[in-house]
Amino acid sequence: MTAAESSSPDRLAELSAQDLRARLSEALDLYVTAMRYPKGTAEQRAPMWLAHMMRTGWRCIGAFDPNGNLAGIAYGYRGSPGQWWHEQVRRGLIERSGPAAADQWTLDYFELTELHVRPDRQGRGTGENLLRALLAGATEGRVLLSTPEGPSRAWRLYRRVGFVDVLRDYQFSGDPRLFGVLGATLPLA
């Protein structure tokens, strides 16, 4: 890649489930690298990503570097009762803020499930462009996501585009880490 190419913006494209299946190992490698997870995590997560593609409202945006390789990925779907993450977030909201707050956030929302940019392509706007492109196509009134407690580049990005605290220092069942659950009304400001 030339110096001009390496500093040029990444091209965004909406990916169908078929497109993502064809690039699944590349996408999972990117995810594991961006999150600094151990190598075996990719195989462990593959069935989950494949199952997510079948969910109502699933949409995915890919970012491509000048060589046509995947530089970033964002996907999500409509959050619904019975989904593990949905039930976990509702439980937390009911415990801490009551059923009205739980309803306000969880009756009509898009779950931003994954957002990752390859480390060598970070810091040029790709993450924010992916996030905005994905959410521009959502039909729900709100968006929710969870991210490990910061500070991190992800937190700065979410704050920059207007996400507010929904749950802080929250523990999902079976995961010792603390997470923030953040939300915003759609469309983003």
> What residue ranges bind ligand COA (CB under 6 A)?
34-35, 115-117, 122-128, 147, 152-154, 156-157
In whole angstroms, how close is the CB of 137 to ligand COA at the nearest point? 18
In whole angstroms, how close is the CB of 98 to ligand COA at the nearest point? 26
Residue 64 identity:
F
Active site residue ranges: 158
Distance CA 126, CA 73 (A): 9
In whole angstroms, how close is the CB of 138 to ligand COA at the nearest point? 17
Q: What is the 3-state secondary structure (H, E, C) of the chain?
A: CCHHHHHCCCEEEEECHHHHHHCHHHHHHHHHHHHCCCCCHHHHHHHHHHHHCCCCCCEEEEEECCCCCEEEEEEEEECCCCCHHHHHHHHHHHHHHCHHHHHHHHCCEEEEEEEEECHHHCCCCHHHHHHHHHHHCCCCCEEEEEEECCCCHHHHHHHHCCCEEEEEEECCCCCCCCEEEEEEECCCC
> Of the two residues 108 and 128, which places its CB atom closer to ligand COA in the complex?
128
In whole angstroms, how close is the CB of 99 to ligand COA at the nearest point? 27
> Of the two residues 98 and 164, which places its CB atom closer to ligand COA in the complex?
164
> Of the two residues 99 and 148, which places its CB atom closer to ligand COA in the complex?
148
